[in-house]
Amino acid sequence: MTDVVLIFGVSGFVGGYLAEEFCNFGYKVYGCDISESSDIADQVTFIPCDILDQVQVRKVISETKPMYIVDLAAISSVSYSWKEPAKTMAVNVEGTLNIFESAKEIIPNAKILVIGSSEEYQRSDDPINEEFSLDSCSPYGLSKITQERFAKLYREQYGMKIYCVRAFNHTGVGQSDRFVIPSWCRQVALLSAKKENGNIIVGNIDIYRDFSDVRDVVRAYRMILESEKSKTIYNVGSGKATKLKDILDYIVSLSSCKISIEIDPSLVRNGENAKIYCCNELIRKDLGWYPQYDISDTVKDIYEYYYNMFT
């Protein structure tokens, strides 16, 4: 009998890659979201579901009875979380509780993976490991801390197999151009396709961030669920701090056009941490996971995706 995986938030950027990862390893994959995405693999069975509707969530879990559940359904934008803090808490916390409650009653032995964020951590210029203090300064980060606390509560009170990851920045083809790397790639590719010199609009390029390829990240998610020796919390990231200016310079170098950089103050966050990157030693040691993709190759793929779109 084929093992079943249920992915909430399958229509999002990471959801499509995760569904493909599990399909490639022989799983039967069900995906839930409010609306279906054309990027979802053909092998995935899509089921419409609003994570805030407990009746719908319970029905999906009852019908599919998965071995693994992944909760990717989330409001994941820090800036949006400031505009809609109540909605952010509802989706990221209440939605997850709907999954926990339904799984507790229907499939108490299923493994559940909850996707958290580096935004949960206290600010630091040093590599951040899993023991580092949690002290978010955004509604999004606070919602993820709360989500993780409920995961711990359900593990301890009900013996549920709930695992949490704190994912650092990841990107790839298909990510929204609301995010920094796709935004820059799109702007430069458009100028290149039109064979025009011009400006591109950026925010703070003097900060350092930890970037991974989304394909490495979803592989980590699968490995955490499959392993019998997984701990309950893992960082998932490259373990390297990359300056955004270096990424921008590389993207600009892919074009033969003369491109100037224009900094938009509205894109610069006040009090932004100068450097955020993870220590990924725990997942390397426990599961043998390590990044297989070089971020420069990922960036080039995104640039070429947009260039081909515009030509």
Q: What is the pLDDT of residue 272?
A: 73
Task: For the chain, give the mean pLDDT.
Answer: 96
Residue 22's contacts (CB-CB under 8 Å, 6 or more residues apart) are: 5, 7, 29, 222
Residues of the chain with CATH 3.40.50.720: 4-167
Q: What pTM was estimated for this model as a whole?
A: 0.96
pLDDT at 89 over 80: yes
List where CATH 3.90.25.10 sits in the chain.
Answer: 177-209+241-276+295-310
Mean pLDDT over residues 39-63, rounded? 94
Of 76 and 165, the structure prediction assigns the larger pLDDT to 165
The count of other CB atoms within 10 Å of the CB of residue 133 is 10
Is domain 177-209+241-276+295-310 given the CATH code 3.40.50.300 in the classification?
no
How do residues 242-255 score in pLDDT, each as one tens digit? 999 999 999 999 99
Interval 96-124: pLDDT, tens = 999 999 999 999 999 999 999 999 999 88
DSSP character for 289? Answer: -
Contacts of 253 by beta carbon, 8 Å cutoff, 6+ apart? none
Does pLDDT of 38 surpass 80? no
Query: Is the predicted pLDDT of residue 271 greater than 70, yes or no?
Result: no
List, in sequence order, the alpha helices (H) in 54-178.
Answer: 54-64, 78-83, 85-89, 95-106, 139-158
| CA 121/CA 130 separation, integer angstroms | 9
In which residue are the tokens 């064979």 written?
Answer: 195
Superfamily of structural domain 4-167: NAD(P)-binding Rossmann-like Domain (3.40.50.720)
Q: Which residue has the tokens 């921008």?
A: 248
- Percentage of residues of the chain with pLDDT beyond 90: 90
